[in-house]
Amino acid sequence: MLAAAYAATRDLEGSRQLLDAELAAGFPIPEDSNWSTAHQCWAESAVVLRHAEAAAKNSAPPYVSSTLAAWAELLAERGRADDHSRARAMAEGALQTASGRGHGNVEHDAIAVLERLP
């Protein structure tokens, strides 16, 4: 949160130092109630700093996998041209990311898409 506060008040050097330290450590934080807030703050700092490397390693897997599963479902329903192959790839990606992380709802949604694809 301090990195985001520094960025918001334009203490860019302070924000950069904190963000660089977190990046070097791999953005360590347990997947608990603070996880999403921490990733949001790191993302905001990365945007203000135009820190492409920090933005690329801060992909927030639970959000990405949830988005992939929902998008896969929409493509599977629409069923145009290459929609089913795209839906399969997205659902498989969502399942791989969600598996073992305690995101059973995403796993369930991805499996449901995969089961209904031809």
Same domain membership, residue 53 and residue 12: yes
Give me the domain span that covers residue 100: 61-116
**How far is the CA of 37 from the CAs of 17, 28, 43, 94, 101, in angstroms?**
19, 13, 10, 22, 18
Picking from 39, 11, 12, 15, the residue whose alpha carbon sits closest to that of residue 26 is 39
Question: Given this model, what pLDDT does residue 67 score?
Answer: 87
Same domain membership, residue 47 and residue 69: no
Same domain membership, residue 78 and residue 31: no
Lowest mean per-residue pLDDT among 4-18, 56-70, 94-108: 56-70
**36-72 tens-digit pLDDT:** 888 888 988 998 999 999 888 776 777 788 889 999 9
Number of domains comprising the chain: 2
Question: Given this model, what pLDDT does residue 55 score?
Answer: 84
Question: What are the backbone angles phi and psi of residue 100, rounded to the nearest 5°?
Answer: 80, 5
Question: Given this model, what pLDDT does residue 63 score?
Answer: 76
Question: Given this model, what pLDDT does residue 45 score?
Answer: 93
Boundary residue ending a domain (57, 77, 103) = 57
Question: Given this model, what pLDDT does residue 117 score?
Answer: 95
Same domain membership, residue 53 and residue 6: yes
